[in-house]
Each structure stands twice: as C-alpha cells, then as structure tokens.
Amino acid sequence: MKMYKIVCMLVIIMFYSCSTGSEDNKQEDIFNPSTVEGVLREVTGEWTDRIYDYTIPGQYSDIQSRRITVVLPPDYNKATEYDAIYMHDGQNLFNYDQYGHGGWQADTTINTLVKETSINPLLLVCIPNAGSKREYEYTDEKTGAPHYMDYIVKRIIPVIEHNFSVKKNREGRIIGGSSYGGVISLYAGWQYSSVFSKVIAMSPSLHKQWIVNKTLTEVKPDIKLYIDTGNLEDPDNYTNNFNIALQQIGFITDTNLKYVYGSGQDHNERAWRARLPEALKFMVAK
C-alpha cells in the first residue's frame, strides 16, 4: 500500500509538470507569423515603401507585445536575399532619443553606407525596449534575458523571414545593441550562436558580472564580434581588458573580433551613432 501511494504521487507530479510545460509550448506552437500584418508607414521621398511596423505578441506573460519597425535597404528587391540586423532599444535608433543625444540614426547611417557601397545592403529591424522592464529583459540571466531572446527568435524572426526576402540562416543574421543592449547581444552570441553569426555589443555593461563569466568560461561560439567603449565612460579601459580576455580564449583581432576605443566619447547615442559605421563595415563590408 505504501509503495502504491508513492507511485500515485509520482504520477500526479509528472502529470502537472507535463501540463505546465505543454501550456507554455502550446502558446508558442499556435503562433503563425502570417497572421501578423504589417503597416506601411506613409512617408515620402526616398523612404517611400521602405518602412513597416508590425505589432508582435509575446509568448510569455513577462514579455509584452510591442511594435517592431523594419527599414528596407535602398532599391530593395524581392529577388535578392539580404542580411538582417536585429537591434535593441528600437525607439532610439532613429533621430530621437529621450536623453537629447539625437538618436542612433541607424536608418540613415545604413542608407548612406549602402549608397556609398561601403557595406552590403541589409534590413534594419528595430526592437523597442520595454521601458521600466528594460533591465530585466536585457540583463536578468535566469528569466528575463532567456524569455526576451525567445521572443526574438520564435516570434520576431519568423515574422521578418515570412514577410521579407532575407537569408534564413545564421550567416544572414546580426544582433546588436548598446549598454544593457550590449549585454543581451553578448548573451545572444553565446546562447544563440546557431541563430546569429554576428554580434555588435557597444559599451556593454560589463559590471553585470554574469555576462563576463558566461563569455569567458563557456565554449567559444563561432561568431564575429564587435565591442567598443568611449574613453569618457571607461577611463580605466575595463572593456579593453575584456577584449584581451576574449583573445585569450581564441578570438582573433580583425578576423572575428574588433575592439574600438572612442576618443572623447561618453555613454550615449551620439557616441554609438559615431561608431556604428565602423561596426557595420566590420560585419557586412562590400
């Protein structure tokens, strides 16, 4: 009788464990990227028919739905497969940020570099942060970061690859961001190297010690990595120490690793805007 009760308890525990897991999976399994409709922005001039917005639902209760903005390269052609760069803090990637630094202006930077034939044309995917939950999504190792990255990998990427002519493999995907966005980009490089082959981590907040531990102690991923900082934000050049440590685990400077130390630059969008061309040229140069 005692053994019978133990077996019954184990069956009940297994049932509830499977039920909980299947509920999470059910949310993900029923997602169909074709059901998410994009809205073409009404803009004029050379940006006509090049900017789309998609409101994409999250699959976890702690990851909110948000409006993703997609900017197509000049002369976008459905017959060509393009690289795509997925960038965090999407609301700051244009010509405005709440801190008054003029935004990243990533759209115009990419546009100019493509027209100059300095880089290969690529799609810009702007993923806005969650405001007060930004730190949680970008830097919480246990739940926030894994859930946020699952949102990108299982929701955002399928929508982009369903609607646009992009390379549907890791070689065609870049992920990038700055500050806490640099932390989540590094996390993506190590945890999702089967999805992304290139990582841009500008001014990564390396005081989040877990990301340093992860990158320097886990197996080195097969990725191309760009990191940087400014001398005004990092006078002790702590980021360069990280750069040196990356070389010690097998990264090779100017091959699959590039480190930039910005002179007279602080921790803001103005500095990231100034360094963005170098990062893009390292990743997708002609």
* Domain around 215: 38-284
CATH of the domain at 247: 3.40.50.1820
pLDDT of residue 98: 74
Q: At 232, is the pLDDT very low, low, confident or very high (cuts 50, 70, 90)? A: very high
Q: Share the mean pLDDT of the chain.
A: 91
Q: Are residues 24 and 44 both part of a single domain?
A: no
d(CA 269, CA 272): 5
Average pLDDT value for residue range 197-203 = 98
pLDDT of residue 40: 98
Q: Are residues 186 and 218 both part of a single domain?
A: yes
Burial, 117: exposed, middle or buried (Cβ in 10 Å; 0-12, 13-18, 19+)? exposed
Q: Are residues 49 and 126 both part of a single domain?
A: yes
pLDDT, one tens digit per residue, over 91-133 is 999 997 777 788 999 999 999 999 999 999 999 999 999 999 9
pLDDT of residue 20: 37
Q: Are residues 117 and 15 both part of a single domain?
A: no
**Cβ-Cβ contacts under 8 Å for 6 (sequence gap 6 or more):** none
pLDDT of residue 26: 38
Burial, 115: exposed, middle or buried (Cβ in 10 Å; 0-12, 13-18, 19+)? middle
Q: Are residues 138 and 168 both part of a single domain?
A: yes
Number of residues that make up the chain? 286
Q: At 29, is the pLDDT very low, low, confident or very high (cuts 50, 70, 90)? A: low
Q: Are residues 26 and 43 both part of a single domain?
A: no
Q: Helical H runs in the chain?
A: 2-29, 106-115, 134-139, 144-151, 157-163, 180-191, 209-217, 238-248, 269-284
Q: Are residues 165 and 75 both part of a single domain?
A: yes
Q: Are residues 106 and 236 both part of a single domain?
A: yes
Q: Are residues 3 and 61 both part of a single domain?
A: no
pLDDT, one tens digit per residue, over 57-69 is 999 999 999 999 9
Q: Is the pLDDT of residue 25 over 50?
A: no
Q: Is the pLDDT of residue 183 over 80?
A: yes
Q: Are residues 66 and 5 both part of a single domain?
A: no
Whether 158 contacts 69, CB under 8 Å: no
Q: At 271, is the pLDDT very low, low, confident or very high (cuts 50, 70, 90)? A: very high
Q: Is the pLDDT of residue 16 over 70?
A: no
pLDDT of residue 210: 98
Q: How many domains does the structure of the chain reveal?
A: 2
Q: Are residues 203 and 236 both part of a single domain?
A: yes
